[in-house]
Amino acid sequence: MDHFMNPRNVGEIENPDAVGQVGNPKCGDIMKMYLRIENDVITDVKFKTFGCGSAIATSSMATEIIKGKTIKEALRLTNSAVADALDGLPPVKMHCSVLAEQAVKSAIYDYATKNDLYFEELEGFDPNEEHDHHDHGDDHC
pLDDT in tens, 79-119: 999 999 999 999 999 989 999 999 999 999 999 999 999 99
CB 35 within 8 A of CB 119: no
Average pLDDT in the chain: 89
Max mean pLDDT among 46-55, 59-68, 91-100 falls in 59-68
The confidence band for 24, taking pLDDT boundaries of 50, 70 and 90, is low
pTM greater than 0.85 (yes/no)? yes
User: According to the 3-state scheme, what is the secondary structure of 25-67?
Assistant: CCCCEEEEEEEEEECCEEEEEEEEEECCHHHHHHHHHHHHHHC
Nearest-angstrom CA–CA distance, 120 and 93: 29
Let me know if 141 is a catalytic residue.
no
Task: Give the model's pLDDT for residue 78.
Answer: 96
Q: Which of 56, 96, 103, 108 is catalytic?
A: 96
Let me know if 27 is a catalytic residue.
yes
Assign residue 98 a region (left: φ > 0; alpha: ψ between -120 and 50; beta: otherwise).
alpha
Task: Give the model's pLDDT for residue 140.
Answer: 43
Residue 138: is its pLDDT beyond 60? no
Q: Which of 13, 18, 22, 27 is catalytic?
A: 27
